[in-house]
Amino acid sequence: MKPVYALLFTALLSGRAAAADITVSAAASLKDAFGEIARNYQKQYPQSKIRLNTAGSGVLLQQAVQGAPVDVLAFADEETMNQAQAKNVADKAGRKTFALNSLVIAAPKNSKLAVNSLKDLENARFGRIAVSNPAGVPVGRYTKAALEKAGVWAGIQAKVITTQNVRQSLDYVARGEVDAGFVYNTDAVLMKDKVKVLKTVPTQKPVSYPIAVAASSSQKAEAQRFVNYVLSAQGQGVLNKYGFNKP
C-alpha cells in the first residue's frame, strides 16, 4: 500500500475527521451552551472552526429548506426534526436526542404576582404575557398545548405578546415589558438576577432536543464528529452546567 493511501486508511479506521469549517444551526435556547461547546471543541480540534447560527427552530428549518449552508441541525423539539427529515434536510440514520429541558412561567425579579394554576393567568393582574409563536417555535407549541389543556388559551389571547423565539420572551420579562412569559428553565437560570420562576409547567410531551447532520452538508465527517462531541461526556457536562438534563 502506498504511504498516502496508508495514511488515509489509518485515519478512516481511527474515526478521525479531516479538519474543516462547519455551520451549526441551533435553537435559540442553546445559544450559550453551544457557544461554550463550540469553543471547547475548537480547543480540542484547533484546525476546525464552528460557525454557530442560533434562532427559533422553525426559522432554522426554513433556512435549511431554502438551501442555506448548514452542517448540523439542533432543534428544541422532536416535531421540528420530524419536519426536517420529511423535507430531506436532515440525515435520518444519525438523529439523536441529546438534552431535556422544562417549560416555566417567568416574571420580573421584583414581581409580586404568583401562579398556582394556569387559570391564574386569566386574572386582570396579568396584563401582558409573552408567548413565542406556536406556528414555528417549539416553546410556543409547548405553551399553547399546556394552556389549551388547562382551558385558558382562548381566554388570554388579548394579553399575549407574540415573540419570535424564547430569548425574545426572556428579554421582555427581564426588562419588565411583560408581566410574565413562557420560557425554558435554562433561560430563566441565565437571568436569575433579573427574572424569577413563578411555576414549572407540565408538558404533554417531553421538552427534548434532537440533533442530526444536515443532509446537504459537504463536511459530513466533521459534522458527525461535532454531533458525537455534543453527545460525549464533555458536551453533556457543558449542557448540564447550563441546566439541561440528559435524555
Residue 123 banded pLDDT, cuts 50, 70, 90: very high
Going by pLDDT thresholds of 50, 70 and 90, the confidence category of residue 9 is: very low
The grid coordinates of residue 35 equal 457557544
pLDDT of residue 234: 97
Q: Where are the domains of the chain?
A: 3-100+207-241, 103-201
pLDDT-derived band of residue 20, with 50, 70 and 90 as boundaries? confident
**Which whole number is the average pLDDT over 88-111?**
96
pTM of the model: 0.86
Taking residues 130-136, what's their average pLDDT?
95
Share of the chain above pLDDT 70, in %: 92
CATH level 2 (architecture), domain 3-100+207-241:
3-Layer(aba) Sandwich (3.40)
Q: 3-100+207-241 and 103-201 share one CATH topology?
A: yes
For the chain, list the strands marked E by DSSP.
21-27, 49-55, 72-74, 96-101, 103-108, 129-132, 160-163, 180-184, 195-201, 207-213
Class of domain 103-201: alpha beta
Those residues whose C-beta lies under 8 Å from the C-beta of residue 210, and which sit 6 or more positions away, are: 74, 75, 77, 78, 81, 95, 96, 97, 98
pLDDT (mean) for 177-205: 96
What pLDDT is stored for residue 97 in this prediction? Answer: 98
pLDDT of residue 14: 40
| pLDDT level of residue 1 (50, 70, 90 thresholds) | very low
Q: What is the CA radius of gyration of the chain?
A: 20
Please say if the pLDDT value at position 117 is more than 50: yes
